[in-house]
Amino acid sequence: MDTRQALAPLAGATPLVFAHRGSSAALPEHTVAAYERAVVEGVDGFECDVRLTRDRHLVCIHDASIARTSNGRGRVTRLTLAELNRHDYTSWHREWVATRGPDAVRVSTTDDGILTLDRLLSLARGAGRSLRLLIETKHPSRFGGDVERQLVDLLTRHGLTGATRTASEPDVRVIVMSFSIRALRRVRALAPEIPTVFLFDIPTPSLWSGRPPDGADLLGPSIRMVRHCPEVVRRAHDRGVGVLVWTVNRPADIELVHSLGVDGIVTDRPADVLAALNRPVPGDRGGTGLAAPTGTGSPAPGDGRLGPCPSTTGVSTTEGSSPGWLD
Ligand code: G3P
Ligand code: CA
């Protein structure tokens, strides 16, 4: 099977451009405003991270704790949705911007609690055009496989699994990603039609050879991996395996991944990536020109700790390792 079809161009343009946590260089990550801005900027899709609340709602948040991206404290899995909604998930970003000068960015958003995946799916379905959603399940989680079970249930309620998806236009489709291969295998068992992406930032010979572990359709190397071993893209393509790269914010990295012919680019700065790809940008690009990176990207090129880009071997991998937090 050619897994590159999962990232087939939506409008004749390739690679697909995904807004990482929304248009998150310009606006607070994982907020309605950040995703609405991404739609205006012309993205092909969204990326989001999901975790379960104590009362088993899927919410869009990267960290296990709400401390960095809200004015509250506590772990997502220990708080109910109602408790999470008592906090503001935007003002932290204004404060961050304030330290970088008055012309850094214009923020305009609503303080409307934590973003649920239910709401994000509704936003995508109501956007009025075709979109792809990259949903990353975060592990380890004390709820284990409930994360994927709840996810597939919710996607089914939205008509986004094979069993319920209707061939309507505009067409919204979901791709599930994880650093945990066990999580992807659960998705495969629950909804085999949903494409899966194995994320990695730790090299193994099997991954370098362009081969995803069983249960994954596509490869999701970090930009650090691709800088270090660009050949991984060709090796994957030779196997018919699609590649999407995260988090690509710097001009040189955009140029690199485009020249390699990757299938998807995940970025905090979708307007900049679309412009670099000569894709028309339908909305106002004002406010996206932050003076400094968001800090969510990868280390600078030249990181010698990875060792040499290896030739391919047959060593297999079965487990992903998350750079995340134990919750
Ligand atoms: O798109 C994949 C990327 O988001 C994985 O890293 O830490 O930003 O979730 P992280
Ligand atoms: Ca993510």
103 CA → ligand 2 middle, Å: 28
Mutate to test the pocket of ligand 1, among 21, 60, 136 (most ligand atoms within 8 A of CB): 136
| Ligand 1 close to Cβ of residue 266 (< 6 A) | yes
Confidence category of residue 241, pLDDT binned at 50, 70, 90: very high
pLDDT at 125 over 80: yes
Q: What is the pLDDT of residue 118?
A: 98
Ligand with smallest separation from the Cα of 199: 1
Residue 324 within a domain: no
What is the b/e burial string over 9-27, where b = at least 16 CB atoms within 10 angstroms of the residue's CB?
A: ebeeebbbbbbbbbbbbbb
Q: What's the domain count of the chain? A: 1
Residue 313 within a domain: no
Confidence category of residue 316, pLDDT binned at 50, 70, 90: very low
Q: What is the pLDDT of residue 91?
A: 81
Q: Which residues surround ligand 2, an ion (CB under 5 A)?
A: 49, 136
Q: What is the pLDDT of residue 159?
A: 95
- Mean pLDDT, the chain, integer: 84
Mutate to test the pocket of ligand 1, among 18, 20, 21, 201 (most ligand atoms within 8 A of CB): 20
240 vs 326, residue with greater confidence: 240
Q: What is the pLDDT of residue 90?
A: 87
Confidence category of residue 276, pLDDT binned at 50, 70, 90: very high
Q: Mean pLDDT throughout 94-112?
A: 49
Residue 322 within a domain: no
Which of 34-43, 77-86, 93-102, 207-216 bottoms out in mean pLDDT, i.e. has the lowest? 93-102
Confidence category of residue 4, pLDDT binned at 50, 70, 90: confident
pTM of the model: 0.85
* Percent of the chain predicted with pLDDT > 70: 77
Confidence category of residue 319, pLDDT binned at 50, 70, 90: very low
111 vs 279, residue with greater confidence: 279
Residue 22 within a domain: yes
| Ligand 1 close to Cβ of residue 201 (< 6 A) | no
Catalytic position from the list 30, 62, 139, 228: 62
Residue 320 within a domain: no
pLDDT at 324 over 70: no
Domain containing 28 equals 3-306
Domain with 213 in it: what CATH number? 3.20.20.190
Reported as a single tens digit per residue, the pLDDT across 6-37 is 887 665 568 999 999 999 999 999 999 899 99
Confidence category of residue 111, pLDDT binned at 50, 70, 90: low
224 vs 167, residue with greater confidence: 224
Q: What is the pLDDT of residue 7?
A: 83
Please name the residue whose Cα sits nearest to atom 2 of ligand 1. Answer: 246
Token pair recorded at residue 321: 């390792």
Residue 223 within a domain: yes
Residue 225 within a domain: yes
Residue 19 within a domain: yes
